[in-house]
Amino acid sequence: MEYLHTLIYLAPLVFLAGFIDSAVGGGGTISIPAYLLTGMPAHMAFGTNKLSSCLGTTVAAGRFIKNKAIDLRTAILSGIGALGGAALGSHILLLLDDRTLRLMLIIALPCVAVFLVLRKDKVYEVGHHEDFSKQKTVFLALIIGFGIGIYDGAIGPGTGTFAIIAYNAVMRYDLKTASGNAKVLNLASNLASVVTFAVAGHVIWVIGIPAALFGIAGNYLGSGVAIKKGAKFLRPMLFVVLGLLMIRIIFDFVTGI
Protein backbone atom coordinates (compact mmCIF):
# COMPACT_ATOMS: atom_id res chain seq x y z
CA MET A 1 0.00 0.00 0.00
CA GLU A 2 2.89 2.34 0.75
CA TYR A 3 4.26 1.75 -2.73
CA LEU A 4 0.82 2.49 -4.22
CA HIS A 5 0.63 5.87 -2.46
CA THR A 6 4.12 6.68 -3.69
CA LEU A 7 3.18 5.81 -7.27
CA ILE A 8 0.00 7.90 -7.16
CA TYR A 9 2.19 10.88 -6.32
CA LEU A 10 4.99 10.02 -8.74
CA ALA A 11 3.01 8.93 -11.82
CA PRO A 12 1.88 12.33 -13.16
CA LEU A 13 5.25 13.93 -12.44
CA VAL A 14 7.18 11.14 -14.17
CA PHE A 15 4.79 11.41 -17.13
CA LEU A 16 5.42 15.16 -17.37
CA ALA A 17 9.15 14.62 -17.00
CA GLY A 18 9.10 12.08 -19.83
CA PHE A 19 7.13 14.36 -22.14
CA ILE A 20 9.44 17.31 -21.59
CA ASP A 21 12.61 15.22 -21.70
CA SER A 22 11.70 13.61 -25.03
CA ALA A 23 11.21 17.04 -26.61
CA VAL A 24 14.01 19.21 -25.24
CA GLY A 25 15.59 17.38 -22.32
CA GLY A 26 15.55 18.47 -18.70
CA GLY A 27 13.03 15.94 -17.43
CA GLY A 28 15.30 15.13 -14.51
CA THR A 29 14.67 18.59 -13.09
CA ILE A 30 11.18 17.31 -12.28
CA SER A 31 11.62 13.58 -11.69
CA ILE A 32 14.62 13.58 -9.33
CA PRO A 33 13.15 16.12 -6.88
CA ALA A 34 9.87 14.17 -7.11
CA TYR A 35 11.60 10.96 -6.06
CA LEU A 36 13.41 12.75 -3.24
CA LEU A 37 10.13 14.18 -1.95
CA THR A 38 8.80 10.63 -1.43
CA GLY A 39 11.25 10.33 1.46
CA MET A 40 13.44 7.62 -0.03
CA PRO A 41 17.23 7.88 0.51
CA ALA A 42 19.01 10.02 -2.07
CA HIS A 43 20.97 7.12 -3.60
CA MET A 44 17.73 5.16 -4.02
CA ALA A 45 16.03 8.22 -5.54
CA PHE A 46 18.81 8.67 -8.08
CA GLY A 47 18.99 4.97 -8.93
CA THR A 48 15.23 4.42 -9.23
CA ASN A 49 14.87 7.59 -11.29
CA LYS A 50 17.56 6.31 -13.65
CA LEU A 51 15.60 3.08 -14.15
CA SER A 52 12.34 4.81 -15.04
CA SER A 53 13.99 7.45 -17.22
CA CYS A 54 16.06 4.81 -19.01
CA LEU A 55 13.00 2.84 -20.08
CA GLY A 56 11.21 5.99 -21.17
CA THR A 57 14.22 7.26 -23.09
CA THR A 58 14.40 3.94 -24.96
CA VAL A 59 10.97 4.60 -26.47
CA ALA A 60 11.77 8.20 -27.37
CA ALA A 61 15.10 7.24 -28.97
CA GLY A 62 13.33 4.53 -30.96
CA ARG A 63 10.85 7.02 -32.38
CA PHE A 64 13.60 9.44 -33.43
CA ILE A 65 15.52 6.58 -35.08
CA LYS A 66 12.40 5.27 -36.83
CA ASN A 67 11.69 8.74 -38.23
CA LYS A 68 15.36 9.20 -39.23
CA ALA A 69 15.54 12.35 -37.09
CA ILE A 70 19.13 11.63 -36.00
CA ASP A 71 22.64 11.38 -37.39
CA LEU A 72 23.22 7.72 -36.59
CA ARG A 73 27.03 7.84 -36.71
CA THR A 74 27.26 10.81 -34.36
CA ALA A 75 24.63 9.33 -32.06
CA ILE A 76 26.43 5.98 -31.78
CA LEU A 77 29.82 7.60 -31.18
CA SER A 78 28.36 9.85 -28.50
CA GLY A 79 26.62 6.85 -26.98
CA ILE A 80 29.91 5.02 -26.68
CA GLY A 81 31.48 8.02 -24.97
CA ALA A 82 28.45 8.39 -22.70
CA LEU A 83 28.66 4.76 -21.51
CA GLY A 84 32.11 5.36 -20.08
CA GLY A 85 31.37 8.84 -18.79
CA ALA A 86 28.13 7.90 -17.02
CA ALA A 87 29.65 4.83 -15.39
CA LEU A 88 32.45 7.02 -14.01
CA GLY A 89 30.02 9.71 -12.85
CA SER A 90 27.73 7.20 -11.13
CA HIS A 91 30.64 5.63 -9.26
CA ILE A 92 31.63 9.08 -8.02
CA LEU A 93 28.06 9.75 -6.86
CA LEU A 94 27.97 6.48 -4.89
CA LEU A 95 30.92 7.71 -2.83
CA LEU A 96 28.91 10.68 -1.49
CA ASP A 97 26.62 10.57 1.54
CA ASP A 98 22.88 11.29 1.47
CA ARG A 99 23.05 14.86 2.79
CA THR A 100 25.81 15.80 0.37
CA LEU A 101 23.75 14.49 -2.55
CA ARG A 102 20.75 16.59 -1.59
CA LEU A 103 22.83 19.72 -1.15
CA MET A 104 24.61 19.05 -4.44
CA LEU A 105 21.29 18.84 -6.25
CA ILE A 106 20.00 22.07 -4.73
CA ILE A 107 23.20 23.86 -5.74
CA ALA A 108 23.44 22.28 -9.20
CA LEU A 109 19.94 23.01 -10.45
CA PRO A 110 20.12 26.81 -10.06
CA CYS A 111 23.51 26.75 -11.78
CA VAL A 112 21.97 24.87 -14.69
CA ALA A 113 19.19 27.46 -14.87
CA VAL A 114 21.56 30.43 -14.73
CA PHE A 115 23.74 28.97 -17.47
CA LEU A 116 20.82 28.34 -19.79
CA VAL A 117 19.15 31.68 -19.11
CA LEU A 118 22.31 33.77 -19.58
CA ARG A 119 23.68 32.00 -22.64
CA LYS A 120 23.35 34.18 -25.74
CA ASP A 121 24.27 31.64 -28.41
CA LYS A 122 22.13 31.58 -31.50
CA VAL A 123 19.74 28.65 -31.83
CA TYR A 124 20.34 27.05 -35.22
CA GLU A 125 16.98 25.95 -36.58
CA VAL A 126 18.61 25.09 -39.92
CA GLY A 127 21.59 22.75 -39.57
CA HIS A 128 25.02 23.26 -41.12
CA HIS A 129 26.75 20.12 -39.90
CA GLU A 130 27.68 19.08 -43.44
CA ASP A 131 30.53 21.61 -43.22
CA PHE A 132 32.27 19.47 -40.56
CA SER A 133 34.99 16.99 -41.52
CA LYS A 134 34.68 13.31 -40.58
CA GLN A 135 37.57 13.57 -38.12
CA LYS A 136 36.09 16.62 -36.41
CA THR A 137 32.69 14.94 -36.18
CA VAL A 138 34.15 11.80 -34.57
CA PHE A 139 36.18 13.82 -32.06
CA LEU A 140 33.34 16.12 -31.04
CA ALA A 141 30.81 13.27 -30.82
CA LEU A 142 33.02 11.28 -28.45
CA ILE A 143 33.93 14.30 -26.32
CA ILE A 144 30.31 15.45 -26.03
CA GLY A 145 29.19 11.93 -25.16
CA PHE A 146 31.86 11.38 -22.51
CA GLY A 147 31.57 14.83 -20.91
CA ILE A 148 27.79 14.89 -20.73
CA GLY A 149 27.83 11.24 -19.67
CA ILE A 150 29.90 12.12 -16.59
CA TYR A 151 27.46 14.89 -15.71
CA ASP A 152 24.45 12.61 -16.22
CA GLY A 153 25.92 9.85 -14.07
CA ALA A 154 26.94 12.18 -11.24
CA ILE A 155 24.10 14.74 -11.24
CA GLY A 156 21.63 14.33 -14.11
CA PRO A 157 19.08 17.18 -14.34
CA GLY A 158 19.32 19.09 -17.60
CA THR A 159 21.40 16.41 -19.36
CA GLY A 160 19.15 16.28 -22.41
CA THR A 161 19.08 20.06 -22.66
CA PHE A 162 22.87 20.29 -22.44
CA ALA A 163 23.20 17.60 -25.11
CA ILE A 164 20.82 19.41 -27.46
CA ILE A 165 22.71 22.67 -26.93
CA ALA A 166 26.03 20.91 -27.65
CA TYR A 167 24.79 19.29 -30.86
CA ASN A 168 23.07 22.46 -32.02
CA ALA A 169 25.58 25.15 -31.00
CA VAL A 170 28.83 23.18 -31.33
CA MET A 171 28.13 20.62 -34.07
CA ARG A 172 25.57 22.79 -35.91
CA TYR A 173 22.78 20.21 -36.15
CA ASP A 174 19.22 21.52 -36.55
CA LEU A 175 17.14 21.24 -33.36
CA LYS A 176 15.21 18.15 -34.46
CA THR A 177 18.37 16.17 -35.27
CA ALA A 178 20.08 17.53 -32.15
CA SER A 179 17.16 16.24 -30.09
CA GLY A 180 17.39 12.79 -31.71
CA ASN A 181 21.14 12.56 -31.14
CA ALA A 182 20.62 13.65 -27.53
CA LYS A 183 18.11 10.83 -26.96
CA VAL A 184 20.63 8.17 -28.01
CA LEU A 185 23.35 9.75 -25.87
CA ASN A 186 20.97 9.94 -22.92
CA LEU A 187 19.88 6.34 -23.41
CA ALA A 188 23.49 5.14 -23.28
CA SER A 189 24.31 7.19 -20.18
CA ASN A 190 21.13 6.00 -18.45
CA LEU A 191 21.96 2.36 -19.18
CA ALA A 192 25.43 2.73 -17.69
CA SER A 193 24.02 4.46 -14.60
CA VAL A 194 21.24 1.91 -14.07
CA VAL A 195 23.72 -0.96 -14.15
CA THR A 196 26.00 0.85 -11.70
CA PHE A 197 23.20 1.66 -9.25
CA ALA A 198 21.60 -1.79 -9.57
CA VAL A 199 24.86 -3.57 -8.80
CA ALA A 200 25.19 -1.36 -5.70
CA GLY A 201 21.61 -2.22 -4.65
CA HIS A 202 20.24 1.32 -5.03
CA VAL A 203 17.23 0.68 -7.28
CA ILE A 204 13.67 0.15 -5.99
CA TRP A 205 12.33 -1.98 -8.84
CA VAL A 206 8.75 -2.19 -7.56
CA ILE A 207 8.47 1.61 -7.89
CA GLY A 208 10.84 2.24 -10.78
CA ILE A 209 9.22 -0.15 -13.26
CA PRO A 210 5.58 1.04 -12.83
CA ALA A 211 6.75 4.67 -12.81
CA ALA A 212 8.61 3.93 -16.03
CA LEU A 213 5.33 3.09 -17.76
CA PHE A 214 4.17 6.65 -17.20
CA GLY A 215 7.57 7.92 -18.30
CA ILE A 216 7.29 5.83 -21.46
CA ALA A 217 3.85 7.31 -22.20
CA GLY A 218 5.22 10.81 -21.69
CA ASN A 219 8.28 10.13 -23.83
CA TYR A 220 6.17 8.57 -26.59
CA LEU A 221 3.81 11.51 -26.81
CA GLY A 222 6.54 14.09 -26.37
CA SER A 223 8.84 12.64 -29.04
CA GLY A 224 5.92 12.43 -31.47
CA VAL A 225 5.12 16.11 -30.93
CA ALA A 226 8.79 17.03 -31.30
CA ILE A 227 9.12 15.13 -34.59
CA LYS A 228 5.94 16.67 -36.05
CA LYS A 229 6.39 20.22 -34.77
CA GLY A 230 10.16 20.44 -35.22
CA ALA A 231 12.17 23.55 -34.35
CA LYS A 232 9.15 25.87 -34.08
CA PHE A 233 7.91 23.77 -31.17
CA LEU A 234 11.26 22.78 -29.69
CA ARG A 235 12.68 26.27 -29.33
CA PRO A 236 10.00 27.64 -26.96
CA MET A 237 9.95 24.33 -25.10
CA LEU A 238 13.54 24.99 -24.03
CA PHE A 239 12.26 27.96 -22.04
CA VAL A 240 9.32 25.97 -20.65
CA VAL A 241 11.86 23.54 -19.19
CA LEU A 242 13.71 26.44 -17.58
CA GLY A 243 10.53 27.76 -16.02
CA LEU A 244 9.64 24.38 -14.55
CA LEU A 245 13.18 24.01 -13.28
CA MET A 246 13.03 27.26 -11.35
CA ILE A 247 9.63 26.42 -9.87
CA ARG A 248 11.06 23.10 -8.72
CA ILE A 249 14.10 24.80 -7.17
CA ILE A 250 12.03 27.34 -5.25
CA PHE A 251 9.77 24.58 -3.93
CA ASP A 252 12.79 22.53 -2.81
CA PHE A 253 14.21 25.47 -0.85
CA VAL A 254 10.87 26.29 0.78
CA THR A 255 10.28 22.68 1.86
CA GLY A 256 13.87 22.35 3.08
CA ILE A 257 15.05 19.37 1.05
- pLDDT attached to residue 97: 85
User: Taking a C-beta distance cutoff of 8 angstroms, is the pair 178, 168 a contact?
Assistant: yes
Residue 114's pLDDT is 62
Report DSSP letters for 51-65, one per residue: HHHHHHHHHHHHHHH
Q: CA of 104: how far to CAs of 52, 177, 252, in Å? A: 22, 32, 12
**pLDDT for the residue numbered 40:** 86
- Residue among 235, 216, 234 nearest 63 (CA): 216
Distance CA 214, CA 89 (A): 26
Per-residue pLDDT at 13: 86
Q: What is the pLDDT of residue 65?
A: 85
Q: Which pTM value belongs to this model?
A: 0.79
Position 207 scores a pLDDT of 92
The pLDDT score that the predictor gives to residue 124 is 55
Q: What is the pLDDT of residue 246?
A: 59
Residue ranges of the domains in the chain? 2-255
Q: 133-142 long-range contacts, Cβ below 8 Å, gap at least 24?
A: 137/73, 137/74, 137/77, 137/171, 138/77, 140/170, 140/171, 141/73, 141/74, 141/75, 141/77, 141/78, 141/81, 141/171, 142/77, 142/78, 142/80, 142/81
Q: Give the pLDDT score at 123.
A: 54
pLDDT score at 189? 95
Regions of the chain short of the pLDDT cut 50: 257
Sign of the CA dihedral with 119 first, then 23, 79, and 187 last: positive
Residue 52 CA to residue 55 CA, distance in Å, equals 5
